A = this chain, B = another copy of it.
Amino acid sequence: MNKTKRTPISELGEFGLIDRIAKDIKIRNASTEHGIGDDATVLSYGKKKTIVSTDLLLEGIHFDLVYTPLRHLGYKTAVVNFSDIYAMNAEPKQLLVSIGVSGRFAVEDIDELYAGIKTACEVYGVDLVGGDTSASMTGLTVSATVIGEGEEGKLTYRSGAKPKELICLTGNLGAAYLGLQLLEREKRVFAGNDNVQPQLDGYSYVLGRQLKPEARKDTIQLLKENNIVPTSMIDISDGLSSEVLHICRQSNVGARIYLNKIPIASETFKLAEEMNIDAATAALNGGEDYELLFTLPLSLCEKVKDLGGIDIIGHIEEESKDIYLIAPDGEEIPLKAQGWRL
C-alpha cells in the first residue's frame, strides 16, 4: 500500500471514488458502445460470438497484501480473466471490475489497484467498461468479469479432444507456485524478526510468474496466423492435473502425460531443490501458470513443433484407458484432481 499520501475513501464517498476510477479510461474496441456510468454496459457484436468469464478474488485466499503490491494484484486480476477468454480461442474486449474495500484502504490504494487493471487493459487491448464499488467489513474483495469476441466455428471448448490427438502446452509450469512458496517463506522469516530483509534476489523469474503473470495472447495469435484451431483448450489456473482431467472428463476420453516432457524452468528447478519441494508436483498441482493446454490432431505434429514455444507433453487415449502420468521409468501413475477445499 502507498504510504506517501493516504486520502480516506470516506472523503470521496462512493460516487467520488467511481469518478476517480473512471476518469482516464480510453475506449479501444469498436464493440464497446457505452461504458462506465449507467445501470449497465452496452456492447455491440455483429456476427461474432460473445464470450464471458468471471472470477472472484478474496484477500487471504487468493492474495496476501503483505507481499502483493496492489498494482500487481490489479494487473493479475485482469490478466487471469483474459486468460479464460484466450482459452476459448477468442479475444478479450471488455472488462468489468467490482471491488469491496474495508476502512483500512485509502483512495491511493484503490488508485494503485486500478493502475494495474488499466495497465493490463492497455497491454491486452481491453476496455474497462463497468463494475461495482462497495464497502466491506473485512479486507479486499475483487470480482472481475471479462467479455470477449470469437469466431463461429473457431471457439475451443474443453469437450473437443479425441483419441490419438496430441496434448500440447505453452511455456513452462510450476514457477508461479514456487514464487508463492518463496514469498510465504520470506513472510514467515520477516514476521519473526523486524531486522531481517526478505531475500528475494535472484528469483525474479518465479516471483514475476506469481505476482505479474501474463496470458497467452501470443499463442492465440500464432495459432491464428498458422490457421490452427485446437480441438480442445483450457488455461492452467488450478494446475496441469486438474486441467487434463477437465478436458478428459468433458471430452469423454483418457490421456497419457509424460512426466519428463513437462517443461519446467531452470530457476523453478533450482528453487524447488533449495526449498525441498518436488518440482514435478509443483508443475502438476501448483497452478496459476496461465499457460494454455490444448489438443491437436496427430497430423499437425511437425507443424506445431515448428511454431516454437509449444511442447507436446502427451496424447489423448480412449476413455476406457483412463488418465495416467507416465514416469521416466515407464511407471503409470493415475492422475488426480485438486480444487480448493475448505
Contact = CB atoms under 8 A, between A and B. Distances in A.
Given A50-B44, A58-B137, A158 B39 contact: yes
Contacts of A10: 341-342
A148 B42 CA distance: 9
Interface residues of A, number: 77
Given A52-B129, A130-B53, A158-B37, A341 B43 contact: no
A100 B61 contact: yes
Given A34-B157, A145-B145, A39 B53 contact: yes
A126 to B, nearest CB: 14
A132 B37 contact: no
Nearest to A104: B342
Most chain B CB inside 10 Å of its own CB: which residue of A37, A60, A340: A340
Given A58-B134, A134-B58, A141-B58, A250 B40 contact: no
Nearest to A99: B56
A158 B55 CA distance: 28
A325 interface: no
B56 A145 contact: no
Identical subunits present? 2
Contacts of A100: 56, 58, 61, 141
Contacts of A40: 51-53, 84-85, 87-88, 90, 146, 148
Interface string A1-40: 0000000111001110000000000000000011001111
B39 A49 contact: no
A138 interface: yes
A147 interface: yes
Nearest to A146: B40
21 contacts: A8-B342, A33-B49, A38-B159, A38-B250, A39-B53, A39-B84, A40-B51, A40-B53, A40-B84, A40-B148, A52-B52, A53-B130, A54-B96, A54-B132, A54-B145, A56-B100, A58-B100, A58-B134, A58-B136, A60-B137, A61-B137
